[in-house]
Amino acid sequence: MSSDPLGSETATKPASELVQALRDRSISSRELLDLYLARHRDLGQSINAVVTIDEEAAVAAATAADEQLATGGDHPPLLGLPMTMKDALATAGMRSTGGAIELADHVPDTDAEVVARVRQAGGVIFGKTNLPRWSADVQAYNEIFGTTNNPWDLACGPGGSSGGASAAVAAGLTGADLGTDIGGSVRLPAHFAGVCGHKPTFGVVPQLGYISHPSYPRSEPDVNVIGPIARTVDDLELLFDVIAGPRADQSSAWRLELPAPRDQDPTKLRVAMHLDDPYVPVGSEVGDALQAAAAALAGSGVTLTEAWPHDLAFGDVEDLGLPLISAATSPGRSDEDFAELQAIVLDPDAHPPSLQMRAKSSAMFHRDWLLMVERREANRAKWQRFFDDYDVLLAPVAMVAAFEHVHDGHLYSRRLTVDGVERSYHQLIMWTSQFGYVGLPSTVVPVGLTPRGVPVGIQVVGPHYGDRTTLAFARHIERVLGGYQVPPLAR
């Protein structure tokens, strides 16, 4: 690219390598920022991932970072790294919309806590990445900014809801990004765009400043988490270490100290796998890639055991997990939407079961929600017993790889064809919601490409507070299978 003075090789390097290059002063923050801005000018229109840029503020921050780096000595862990943020995270002085037309001109006065932590760690935040309205879809499309395209195939989406983040990271338009995940919104985009993503254990990363509805500032939703999207697992851990820990208003009372893996040798970890399930069958192209990955891991010395909690029905994700997620996202429903949902509750037989579930979950009595939470706690206990015997579980991220854009309808009204069979679109989030509604950590890492040339990722799931273990085993998968690849469009 003529306007890319340092080249795509630099732009697509891991963030951890870029941070080291900044410390070695083999590259400056200003040069790296200029590189990403130039790539945005060249690729931005075709991908449409970075939808708001504040170049003036970013130049000032990068210049200040270079001055600090020139002094030598110890520096904050992200000092000088140009980064973007999902547009669901409030960013002071920068338009932050949540993908909702109601907030099209919203400029917060205060950073989300994770954004503030990135700034304190020296990150140079230069832009915001695209998403669906209120982060509520498996794509990145909204009325304000339009559609984000997958850099591996522009006719397809990069997943959602953190799809702008995954596309920007995959195409080398940013050093890294932070996304949000309530039904898979970090993990699904990582899978669809061929990058790495980490969904932390619920509660270890503060959510204040997450824009999930118009009156968002002081609330933290159920189920949701905030996590990093990056090109390597090392990058995930670098960013996770920056954002994890108690909320500022709770930091006087507790500290976060996550356990290390049971064994530092990943081949000695107890690894379960459940790579398909008749309740949500995995499509052939994804299934083939996952089986090949399992064979490669076995060849590396890992012992893999087919296992699933014997007392946990996979279908609980539809009966319990998805309703809890629908309830948690209900503040984002407009008054008009809520009235329509209440009408469905009063006349359920006129609507399909998935729409009935969505309506009942959004309009349920508090007593009903509390009873669902009791059932969730029982399932959490089942997972805890399962992880007494295993360190991690390998699972699919989704039943399909990247597919063509579809904007009509919503998550519970669309249909999707998999291996010639028409299926409900909401099945896309069942493999991720399965672990999300019970708060388990999950790391996604790429394992290869389908025959049509789009990426496939795998989930590494662990017990509560087992984030270090899922990251460690994902790092082993990355070593064995190669991890992130640069999409041809971005080379």
433 close to 184: Cβ distance less than 8 angstroms: yes
Whole-number Å distance between alpha carbons of 491 and 486? 7
Query: Degrees (nearest 5) of the Cα angle 221, 226, 228?
Result: 170
Is 362 one of the annotated active-site residues of the chain?
no
Whole-number Å distance between alpha carbons of 180 and 421? 31
Whole-number Å distance between alpha carbons of 336 and 321? 25
Q: Which of 16, 28, 135, 185 is catalytic?
A: 185
Is 185 one of the annotated active-site residues of the chain?
yes
Q: Which of 161, 166, 362, 424 is catalytic?
A: 161
Whole-number Å distance between alpha carbons of 15 and 27? 13
Tokens of 323: 């309703």
Q: Which of 13, 86, 128, 199 is catalytic?
A: 86
440 close to 462: Cβ distance less than 8 angstroms: yes
Edge-first strand order for the sheet with 82-86 is 50-53, 124-129, 82-86
Is the Cα torsion angle 442, 446, 448, 452 positive or negative in sign?
Answer: positive
Residues contacting 381, CB < 8 A, separation 6+? none
Whole-number Å distance between alpha carbons of 490 and 266? 32
Tokens of 35: 């590189």
Residues shown for the chain: 491
Helix (H) or strand (E) holding 61: helix 55-69
181 close to 199: Cβ distance less than 8 angstroms: yes
Residues contacting 459, CB < 8 A, separation 6+? 187, 393, 394, 395, 396, 397, 431, 432, 435, 442, 443, 444
Is 86 one of the annotated active-site residues of the chain?
yes
Residues that are catalytic: 86, 161, 185
